[in-house]
Amino acid sequence: MPFDPALPWTLDPQVAIRPESFGGLAYHFGTRRLSFLKSPALRDLVLSLADHPSAEDAIEAEGIPASERRQYESALGTLAETGMITARTTNTEAMVAA
């Protein structure tokens, strides 16, 4: 599924994120793929996706400046293409977490 920031997203259940000073390492245990999260803000955004009704809302909640949002959406798109994040089918997960 192509990345759409208006949809709800979450970290794939097979992915673990290890915090690092530069951001983080995301490892997918199913595909054995490793991705670098190149900033702490991106790491925090990825970890917060499930807490919001859409990726746009997560970006807003994380305080990402409007001038940088396209860059973060692009990074999330790459993570979606590689299976690190997946679209949620409903907003139920976000409502339960609230």
Residue 56: inside a domain: yes
Residue 98: inside a domain: no
Q: Quick one: 92 exposed, middle or buried, by C-beta within 10 A (0-12, 13-18, 19+)?
A: exposed
Residue 81: inside a domain: yes
34 DSSP 8-state letter: E
Domain span including residue 48:
9-89
The pTM of the full predicted model, rounded to 2 decimals, is: 0.87
Q: How many domains does the chain have?
A: 1
pLDDT tens digits for range 7-65: 999 999 999 999 999 999 999 999 999 999 999 999 999 999 999 999 999 999 999 99
Residue 2: inside a domain: no
Q: What is the CATH number of the domain that holds 70?
A: 3.90.930
Residue 44: inside a domain: yes
